[in-house]
Structures are given as C-alpha cells and as structure tokens.
Amino acid sequence: GENVEQHPSTLSVQEGDSAVIKCTYSDSASNYFPWYKQELGKRPQLIIDIRSNVGEKKDQRIAVTLNKTAKHFSLHITETQPEDSAVYFCAAYYSGAGSYQLTFGKGTKLSVIP
C-alpha cells in the first residue's frame, strides 16, 4: 500500500514569512495529491490539490509543487497570516491493483506568530 511521510510535524513562523511543508509518497501509481487544512475543533477542508500530470499549481498565497521522479510534493504558503494557523495534511490518492485509497500524512501543526 501507499505510505505518505510529512515533515515537519510542527512549524512556527512569524506573520508575513513563508511556510513550506513537504511530503513524500512511496507508490508511483498515486496520481492525485490534495492538501487539507484543519483548524482547531473543525473538520478538514480541501485547500489545494494537484494531479500527477502537473508540476505546480497556485491559488493566491498558496502553491503546491510536485516532483514525480522524486515522489515528493510540497505546500508553500506566502505572506502568512494568523488565520493560517492550523494543522495541514497532505495526502496521496493511490489507484491500482483493484485498490483505491486516499492516504494521509500525519500532519503539520503550523503556528503563525503575530
């Protein structure tokens, strides 16, 4: 099955700085990589995603990059704001051998210090 490693587990940045979260996956059959944001006490919500045929995707202050060869993808948040403080989860959608599954990393707790 797929295995997703996520680093760092905690990240503190000053407001206005950039934050980068990195994930690696194990199975080359994975073809879709979403990122979820979970604020304290709330449900995870999709913030950005990328498909395996795309190298980079941006949405305002958030961007995701994918390196298929190295099997890693990253979330970049620029000009961080206090409301960006949350736990971020990367995930890889594995599709193969009759099995279809979304595997999550263990999460990164981002704290943005005002």
Nearer to another protein, 78 or 95 (CB): 95
Nearer to another protein, 14 or 53 (CB): 53
Instruction: For the CB of residue 58, give the shortest distance to another protein in the complex, in Å.
Output: 19
Whether the CB-CB separation of 35 and 48 falls below 8 Å is answered with yes
The residues of the shown chain that bind another protein, judged by CB under 8 A, are 1, 6, 9, 31-32, 34, 36, 42-46, 49, 89, 93, 95, 99-107
Nearer to another protein, 18 or 28 (CB): 28
> Could you count the other beta carbons within 10 Å of the beta carbon of residue 61?
13
Nearest to 48 by CA among 68, 73, 24, 28: 73
Whether the CB-CB separation of 37 and 86 falls below 8 Å is answered with yes
Instruction: For the CB of residue 68, give the shortest distance to another protein in the complex, in Å.
Output: 16
Distance in Å from the first CA to the final CA of the chain: 41
Instruction: For the CB of residue 100, give the shortest distance to another protein in the complex, in Å.
Output: 5
